[in-house]
Chain A
Amino acid sequence: MLEYVIRRSGLALVILLLAVTLLFAMIHMMPGDPASILLGPKASPELKAALNQRMGLDQPLLVQLARFYADLAQGDLGTDVFSNRPVLEMVLEQLPYTIVLVLAAIGGASLVGIPLGCYSAIRHNSLLDRLVGVMSVAFIAIPSFVIALYLLLLLSVKWRWFPAMGAGDSGDIVDQARHLVLPALALGLGWVGYIARLVRTSMLEVMEENHIRTARAFGLSERTIIVHYALRIAVLPTVTILGLGIGTMLSGALFAEIVFSRPGIGKLLHEGVLTRNYPVVMGSVLMTTAFFVLCTLISDVINAMLDPRVRDGESS
């Protein structure tokens, strides 16, 4: 197991290193230099040269790349050119909001999706089962920002049930929770049907296995068999898929943060793009990519812990 974790972590590190290099290459390969992008087309050559010097862009490419790696290794993502604040500080300030949003969406979707999938499997081919089948395909396909806009329009602007903007007062947990409902709902709604479908498929397989038949032969109640024996195994593939779905969730979180004017890494990134503040954009992209790679790694490791065939398969 340890060998698998080390090998998988090594691969994650290589992917992250390549992703960082790709971002660096993008800055230098794209038309127009960052100084011109930041200062606009009317900036004087002297001003551009001064900014290039400040950002170290006047150095040879290899020196810049070495400095880029060295800075990253020390946790330095650069400096915001407008406020002069370290980008890492800005990103870390916003990241908790995004993580809370993503976790709330995953948690909410699992709370509804798992029982729904379980019920579908038990009553399979019923009306609800068919409805879950259609819903799982339908909801995951609709862009989350459209769901966010409709929720905003209906539950916030028209009926005024939930606040439309912000993340709530910092000291008031109830207010923060009320501000979280709509963005989390917009982000998680698509996953409800998907999780339900995964759990359903998995439950149907597990219910046919020998240990369930043995449990029945021992006279255990159907409820005990489902909750204690079948569901515990059936829920495992969902963990893996949720880990891989973090990337989609992060992209969805960006839209939810913008629609509901909620602080978060997506909003920081969008503002960075609109002001063409490229150190902030690159820093935010790097952090989200690192977060995504880490989630995929954790999900793979959990999967390998739960299913020895995964790590054995990779070894061979």
Chain B
Amino acid sequence: MKNFLRELSRDTPGMIGFVIVIIVLALSVFASVIAPADPLEIDVYNRLASPSWQHWLGTDQLGRDIFSRVLYGGRVALKVALISISVALLCGLLLGMIAGFGPSWLDRILVVCFDTMRSFPTVMFALAIMTLTGPSLNTVIAVIIITSIPVYARVVRTQTLAVRNLDFILAERAMGASTLRILRDHILPNISAPLLILASMDVPAVVGMEAGLSFLGLGVGPPTASWGSILNDGYSYLRNSPWPIIAGGIPLILVTLGFTFLGESMRDILDPKLRGKGALNQ
């Protein structure tokens, strides 16, 4: 960990990303302590107010304090990112290992399934599910999990295939080690670094997806604050006040930049082989 931080401190964008991530995490976790007002408290006399000492980022169309809503919105974004990425990572890990280490017929079937899932443009697929189930935060999480699993599984499969025929694995097999033991003790440690890098670089995409669906009115329901719903409210009253849009967009930009810079830096430190490859190459 010390080595990692030392390496990180030498990379300026990575360090900037790390600081942003820490600040955003702290502000979201301690939102209830830091927020100057109740994010749901309506003040009709102060609708669409500009920033002031009382309301640092102004107020929305119902007079709610935007700064407080932005802080609480961070909780929603990080909750969605944490749950969906963890579950997708676990499922992807399992399916990818089965595909990479199992019989070739099973591998072919699973690869076609992964490719089929990836053939849907993500947001379009999310909207199709939303039509049938109705909008909710749980549906957003489920959609992100479903669409992320094939991405992780593909990476795990490729990594497993690369490792499975190495000499030390063949030696383990010759000594009678079980498949489970090989997967757990030898394959998993060898594929965990690229997987963790991919997961950290996925955070901006997941946060953006949640915000996007909430912006479309299909994510977090009112009156709960989320960055996407703040932008949605701001869009409806764009000609009256620019502040909800400005305030709702800045945390999204900061979080996406922070996690992307940190992820890129982590990739360079943990896996120099991947250096120079962008997020879309994964």
Q: Which residues of A contact B (CB under 8 A)?
A: 11, 14-16, 18-19, 22-23, 26-27, 30-32, 34, 37, 134, 136-138, 140-143, 145-146, 149-150, 152-153, 157-158, 194, 197-198, 201, 241, 244-245, 247-248, 250-251, 254-255, 258-259, 269-270, 272-274, 276-278, 281-282, 284-285, 288-289, 292-293, 296
A143 touches B211 (CB 8 A): yes
> Could you mark each residue 173-209 of chain B with 1 if its beta carbon is under 8 Å from any beta carbon of chain A, else 0?
0000000000000000000000000000000100010
Tell me if B128 counts as interface (CB < 8 A to partner A): yes
Considering only CB atoms, which chain A residue lies closest to B259 in the complex?
A141
A16-B119, A143-B211, A251-B123 are known contacts. Are A285 and B128 too (CB-CB below 8 A)? yes
B217 touches A288 (CB 8 A): no
> Could you mark each residue 74-88 of chain B with 1 if its beta carbon is under 8 Å from any beta carbon of chain A, else 0?
000000000000000
State how many angstroms separate the Cβ of A191 from the closest Cβ of chain B: 10
Q: What is the size category of the interface that chain B forms with chain A?
A: 35 or more
A145-B212, A274-B217 are known contacts. Are A30 and B129 too (CB-CB below 8 A)? yes
A15-B116, A22-B116, A134-B13 are known contacts. Are A281 and B127 too (CB-CB below 8 A)? yes
Considering only CB atoms, which chain A residue lies closest to B261 in the complex?
A137
A142 touches B257 (CB 8 A): yes
Tell me if B115 counts as interface (CB < 8 A to partner A): yes
B261 touches A288 (CB 8 A): no
Name the prevailing secondary structure of the A interface residues. helix
Q: Which of A37, A137, A274 contacts B278 (CB 8 A)?
A: A137
B13 touches A137 (CB 8 A): yes
State how many angstroms separate the Cβ of B48 from the closest Cβ of chain A: 14
Bound Cα distance from A258 to B235, whole angstroms: 11
> Could you mark each residue 236-267 of chain B with 1 if its beta carbon is under 8 Å from any beta carbon of chain A, else 0?
00110010011001001100110111001000
A26-B129, A31-B133 are known contacts. Are A146 and B249 too (CB-CB below 8 A)? yes
Tell me if B231 counts as interface (CB < 8 A to partner A): yes
A273 touches B127 (CB 8 A): yes
State how many angstroms separate the Cβ of B117 from the closest Cβ of chain A: 8
B217 touches A145 (CB 8 A): no
State how many angstroms separate the Cβ of A200 from the closest Cβ of chain B: 10
Bound Cα distance from A25 to B238, whole angstroms: 40
Bound Cα distance from A145 to B215, whole angstroms: 9
Q: Which residues in chain B, 100-122, are within 8 Å of chain A measured between CB atoms? A: 112-113, 115-117, 119-122
B253 touches A142 (CB 8 A): yes
Tell me if B35 counts as interface (CB < 8 A to partner A): no
Chain B residues contacting A137 (CB-CB under 8 Å) are: 13, 260-261, 264, 278-279
Bound Cα distance from A289 to B130, whole angstroms: 17
B252 touches A146 (CB 8 A): yes
A15-B116, A149-B249, A157-B239 are known contacts. Are A141 and B128 too (CB-CB below 8 A)? no
B216 touches A270 (CB 8 A): yes
A273 touches B131 (CB 8 A): yes
Considering only CB atoms, which chain B residue lies closest to A28 in the complex?
B132
State how many angstroms separate the Cβ of B36 from the closest Cβ of chain A: 25
Chain A residues contacting B115 (CB-CB under 8 Å) are: 11, 15
A19 touches B121 (CB 8 A): no
Bound Cα distance from A197 to B281, whole angstroms: 12
B216 touches A23 (CB 8 A): no
Q: Which of A32, A136, A251 contacts B124 (CB 8 A)?
A: A251
B124 touches A250 (CB 8 A): yes
Q: Which residues of B contact A (CB under 8 A)?
A: 13, 112-113, 115-117, 119-125, 127-133, 204, 208, 211-212, 215-218, 231, 234-235, 238-239, 242, 245-246, 249, 252-253, 256-257, 259-261, 264, 276, 278-280
Considering only CB atoms, which chain A residue lies closest to B113 in the complex?
A18
A–B complex contacts, Cβ < 8 Å, 12 sampled? A137-B13, A141-B259, A143-B211, A150-B245, A251-B123, A255-B212, A274-B217, A281-B127, A281-B131, A288-B124, A289-B120, A292-B121
State how many angstroms separate the Cβ of A130 from the closest Cβ of chain B: 10
State how many angstroms separate the Cβ of B199 from the closest Cβ of chain A: 15
Bound Cα distance from A16 to B127, whole angstroms: 18
B121 touches A142 (CB 8 A): no
B112 touches A14 (CB 8 A): yes
Most A C-beta atoms less than 10 A away, residue of B128, B133, B211? B128
Bound Cα distance from A18 to B132, whole angstroms: 19
Bound Cα distance from A14 to B111, whole angstroms: 12
Q: Which of A136, A149, A201 contacts B245 (CB 8 A)?
A: A149
Q: Which of A23, A37, A141, A296 contacts B257 (CB 8 A)?
A: A141
State how many angstroms separate the Cβ of B142 from the closest Cβ of chain A: 11
Most A C-beta atoms less than 10 A away, residue of B120, B245, B260? B120
State how many angstroms separate the Cβ of B171 from the closest Cβ of chain A: 27
B231 touches A146 (CB 8 A): yes
State how many angstroms separate the Cβ of A238 from the closest Cβ of chain B: 12
Chain B residues contacting A269 (CB-CB under 8 Å) are: 124, 127
A250 touches B121 (CB 8 A): yes
A14-B112, A145-B215 are known contacts. Are A150 and B278 too (CB-CB below 8 A)? no
Bound Cα distance from A289 to B112, whole angstroms: 15
Chain B residues contacting A19 (CB-CB under 8 Å) are: 116, 119-120
Bound Cα distance from A16 to B112, whole angstroms: 11
State how many angstroms separate the Cβ of B181 from the closest Cβ of chain A: 32
B132 touches A37 (CB 8 A): yes
